[in-house]
Chain A
Amino acid sequence: MDLNYFLELGINGALAGLMYSLVAMGIVLIYKSSSVPNLAQGALTMVGAYVVLAYANGLGLSMWLAIPLAMATMCAMGVAVERVALRRLAGRPIVMILMMTLGLDIFLRATTMAISGGTARPMRIGITDDPMFLGSLLLNRAYVVGAVVTLALFAGFVLFFRTRRGAVLRAIADDYMASWSVGISVERGVALSWALASMTATAAGVLWGSIQGVDQSLSLLLLKGITVAVLGGMDSLGGAILAGIGLGAFEAIASGVLDPMLGGGSRDLVVALVLIVTIMVRPHGLFGRHDIERL
């Protein structure tokens, strides 16, 4: 129970939290453009990891070829999901949209399981197990790599939103009716956001798959992703990054304290409690807009 122990927990937790942000960023991208809370993001993450494995093991490609190919496949799939399932639900009550994403979640998970079976498979992306030290603190190398990738993707998104196409997306997020009336194709923008979200889901699937193996439990990242997204404000990418760091550190330290007392397994409890407290105290999150419907 010394300070160093908690510092180590906190920093590793924050690094892992950045990888939750990767899942959350996908949710935020889709929510921003189309107000669809995508509860299938966890399933997309899982499918992304399986697609990478299918290219790498099935076709025998090298990992560095398999990952971009899988990202392209997942982009196409994201666009297809949006086109087939969600575009027709635009303007419907939110219960339909939530149920649709839940149905997609079940469908994607079960289909993947039916095709490739339930046994966990390793994902080797060449991260060594050598210890890595920051001062006297032991860092998890896989988490460091994941955090760097997340930040790189975030930087990529920030740059992207400054381009012409990015400005279109920002306009849609701001007011889709107004965008429509000045001739912006909202449909294309929403499809683009699904493609980007599927891409981040693939990245998250690869990183988490390399840490915990590729199996159905990857889709459970949804709870953490959605908590990070809500905590950061459903429509703020930067908020998702900061909330990820915060939630990761808090989760690691809190479960480090609680686990010995409660006999383990308190991680999901902490995350669920953070989600409840956020919604009760500050539903629009840290950086979200204020116009969220509430009483």
Chain B
Amino acid sequence: MLFRQAGIRHTDYAADRALFPIPVDRLMVIALLLFSLAAPYVVSSLALSSYLTPWLVWTAATLGLNLILGWAGQFHFGYAAIMGIGAYAAVHGVKHGIPWEIAVVLGGLTATVVGSVFAFAALRVKGLYLALSTLALQFVMDWVISHVPAISGGVGATLQAPAMKLLGLAVRSESGLYYVALGWCLIVTLFMLNLRRTALGRALVAVREKDFAAAVIGVQSFRYKLVAFATSSFIGGVSGAVLIFTFYHAVTPEQFAVNVSIELLAMVIVGGLGSIIGSWFGAAFILLMPGQIHQLIAWLAGLVGAPIGVETLAHLPHAVYGALIVGFLLVEPMGLGKLYANVRNYLLVWPFGYARK
């Protein structure tokens, strides 16, 4: 009823291959786009700079990790390190007078080169052993970043990011930074939406399902694993750089430590493996939930009149975060994206529920 399919006839190839063949989907996307463009004038400045902007950048990063984990089926427990490499490379590039756009792409390329090192681990082992070796690489990268003064400026140092100049214009306002984040996130989302219907995307899925079988039908699994790691590292590197320039404004090694890698994994899992809208939901959920839980608990404690220690209050959101990962895996392993798909599938044929799609 809501997602009416009657009248969609696929009479030419272009219509058949449209990203959103159902009119309601198209309308929703257009409405969301309009809202995202109008957001700086609609939402408060606090919500814009501390919720929406980081959400967009983390969504881009989550999509990058989803490319490797959800599409290619390869583990990556060191994605934060890749983001960090992109961020540091871009910041150093801008500091040395390279224009911002080129520096960010350079950051992405540096991350691609380093990320391909992870791919060589993937060419040799898989499953648990790939997970552990990428985790170990994360530790090594962390150590290198924080202990080489030429990169981080010494142990415990903070590197101030220079002001951002897009096409020669300084971007300082909150809404300007928001638009940059929005632009990058939309580029990545469009790329991922299109990836699904390209030969590359299908080859990645073939490798994920069974690499031997993929090799039998002529998909070189080595090559596609390498491509997957390189592409997702590029997305991760640029996302790291954009995150620094639009949100953190300064870069320290702790911003890209191992717990951030796990947080990104949680975003992908909670959102749903291989789901694009799920990545948006997952990033929002993991990013914004702790603050909300914190407020909720403080409010409840005030309501009941039971005083909660500062430390307890600080750690409870983390406990809820862990419990949510466990809960999602038990109840809906395919994450929020699957929940959305369930609702949508229900509405596709509503009120004729017997006509299963």
Contacts and interface: CB of A to CB of B under 8 A. Distances in A.
Nearest to B258: A223
Contacts of B56: none
A103 B325 CA distance: 5
Contacts of A190: none
A122 interface: no
Which of A227, A263, A268, A275 counts the most chain B CB atoms within 10 A?
A275
B329 A294 contact: no
Interface string B98-137: 0000000000000000000000010111111101110011
A101 to B, nearest CB: 10
A167 interface: no
A193 B75 CA distance: 27
Interface residues of B, number: 43
Interface stretch (B160-168, B275-283, B316-324, B344-352): B316-324
A94 B125 CA distance: 14
A230 B132 contact: yes
A171 to B, nearest CB: 23
A103 B266 contact: yes
Contact of B273 (A37, A95, A114): A95
Contacts of A113: 311, 315, 318
Interface residues of A, number: 49
Contacts of A226: 132
B72 interface: no
Nearest to B130: A279
Contact of A107 (B139, B322, B333): B322
Interface string A265-295: 1101101110110011001000000001111
Nearest to A101: B326
B329 A106 contact: no
A117 B309 contact: yes
Interface of A: 37, 85, 88-89, 92, 94-96, 98-100, 102-111, 113-115, 117-118, 223, 226-227, 230, 234, 262-263, 265-266, 268-269, 271-273, 275-276, 279-280, 283, 292-295
12 contacts: A89-B330, A96-B269, A99-B266, A100-B326, A103-B329, A106-B325, A107-B322, A110-B319, A110-B321, A114-B312, A276-B136, A292-B129
Given A107-B323, A114-B319, A262-B147, 8 more contacts: A85-B330, A102-B265, A103-B323, A106-B319, A273-B136, A276-B121, A280-B124, A292-B125
